[in-house]
Amino acid sequence: MTNAIIDLTHLVKKFGKQTVLKDINLQVMSGEIVGLIGPSGAGKSTVIKTALGMELADGGSATVFGKVMPNRQLLARIGYMAQTDALYETLSGRENLKFYAQMKGIHKSEISDSISHVADVVNLADDLDKRVSGYSGGMMRRLSLAIALLGNPELLILDEPTVGIDPALRRQIWKELNAIRDEERSILITTHVMDEAELCDKVALLLGGKVIAFDEPVVLKMQYKVDSIEEVFLKAEGEFK
């Protein structure tokens, strides 16, 4: 295992009596987009939060950049987008971006360049000075994604980034994600859109607290003898039951 940016081994996570993650093994290499799919409530967000150190694992280990999480300094190198938008609604889009840029410790001189770059990626440049309370649902999602992209982090962890985003913009965002991957940066992404899963370099299928399949989309499709990741998903879920 060389170069593993995220390395989860035998990860266990319990909430009270409920064991959400039983035995998670997952590696994200540098220059790789890994898609995490699974039914709602399978524990995708929990995997992400444990990897980030926002939840403490009950067993196993989570290392990021070769260091055991939780680790505060490492967070500067990670761009995280939560499933909820988590924006300050009384502030404008620009003020939100600026605040998070300051929190990430991006240098003063680079903040405004960084803001205009990420705003272009999510097509929000014209609405940056509007208050977020006046944004549509999709605009909030885009702003949230823009915040994660700030400061060109080496690792992006995105929890359902494209919910409520129109097809044209989704395509644009994936173009950006591919460009990021081509810069040898890594992305861990969760999604319910199986078309997007096809675009990942590797797909991890989370079921019953375990990663039951983890490979390239082509390999997975061959393995399950079907034509699309969607069918892989349905077949795996059916077998599991």
Partner 1 sequence: MRTIAIMNRVIKELLRDKRTLALMFLAPILILWLMSVIFTANSTTNVNVGTVAISSSVSTNLNQVKHVNVKHYQSTKTARKALKDDKIDAIIHKSGNDYTITHANTDSSKTSAVKMAFRSALVAANVKTMKTQLGAAKATINKLQKMLPVQAQQKLRAQSQGQVSASKQSASPKITNHYVYGDSSTGFFDKMLPILMGFFVFFFVFLISGMALLKERTSGTLSRLLATPVKRSEIVFGYMASYGILAVFQTILIVVATIWLLGVEVVGSVFNIIIINLILALVALAFGILLSTFANSEFQMMQFIPLVVIPQVFFSGIIPMDSMASWIKDISYVIPIKYSGDAVTGIMMQGKNLTSFGLDIGVLLIFLVVLTILNVVGLKRYRKV
Ligand X SMILES: Nc1ncnc2c1ncn2[C@@H]1O[C@H](COP(=O)(O)OP(=O)(O)OP(=O)(O)O)[C@@H](O)[C@H]1O
42 binds ligand X (CB under 6 A): yes
Report yes or no: 92 and 143 within 8 Å, Cβ to Cβ: no
Q: From the list partner 1, Mg ion, ligand X, none, pick the one residue 84 interacts with, judged by a Cβ distance below 5 to 8 Å according to partner type.
A: partner 1
236 binds partner 1 (CB under 8 A): no
Q: Which of residues 144-163 bind partner 1 (CB under 8 A)?
A: 147
Kindly indicate which of the ranges 79-87, 91-99, 148-156, 220-228 contains the residues binding Mg ion, using the contact rule CB under 5 A.
Answer: 79-87
211 binds ligand X (CB under 6 A): no
Rounded Cα distance between 175 and 48, Å, is: 23
- Look at residue 175 and give its three-state secondary structure: helix
Give a three-class secondary structure readout of 47-102. HHHHHHCCCCCCEEEEEECCEECCCCHHHHHEEEECCCCCCCCCCEHHHHHHHHHH
Q: What is the DSSP letter of 200?
A: S
Query: From the list 45, 63, 92, 186, which residue makes contact with Mg ion (rule: CB under 5 A)?
Result: 45
Nearer to ligand X, 42 or 52 (CB): 42
The CB-of-167 to Mg ion minimum distance in angstroms stands at 22
Site size toward ligand X (CB under 6 A) is 11
Report yes or no: 128 and 119 within 8 Å, Cβ to Cβ: yes
Q: From the list partner 1, ligand X, Mg ion, none, pick the one residue 212 interacts with, judged by a Cβ distance below 5 to 8 Å according to partner type.
A: none
102 binds partner 1 (CB under 8 A): yes
Q: From the list ligand X, partner 1, Mg ion, none, pick the one residue 71 interacts with, judged by a Cβ distance below 5 to 8 Å according to partner type.
A: partner 1
The number of CA neighbours under 13 Å toward the Cβ of 180 is 28
Q: What is the largest CA-CA distance in the chain?
A: 55
162 binds Mg ion (CB under 5 A): no
CB atoms within 10 A of CB 89: 12
Nearer to ligand X, 35 or 151 (CB): 35
Pull the structure tokens for residue 86.
Answer: 């988590």
Radius of gyration of the chain from its Cα atoms, rounded to whole angstroms:
18
Rounded Cα distance between 124 and 116, Å, is: 9
Q: From the list Mg ion, partner 1, ligand X, none, pick the one residue 75 interacts with, judged by a Cβ distance below 5 to 8 Å according to partner type.
A: partner 1
Q: Which of residues 101-160 bind ligand X (CB under 6 A)?
A: none
Nearer to partner 1, 74 or 220 (CB): 74
CB atoms within 10 A of CB 30: 16
State the residues that interact with ligand X by CB under 6 A: 15, 20, 38, 40-46, 83
State the residues that interact with partner 1 by CB under 8 A: 52-54, 56, 70-76, 78, 80, 82, 84-91, 95, 99-100, 102-105, 147
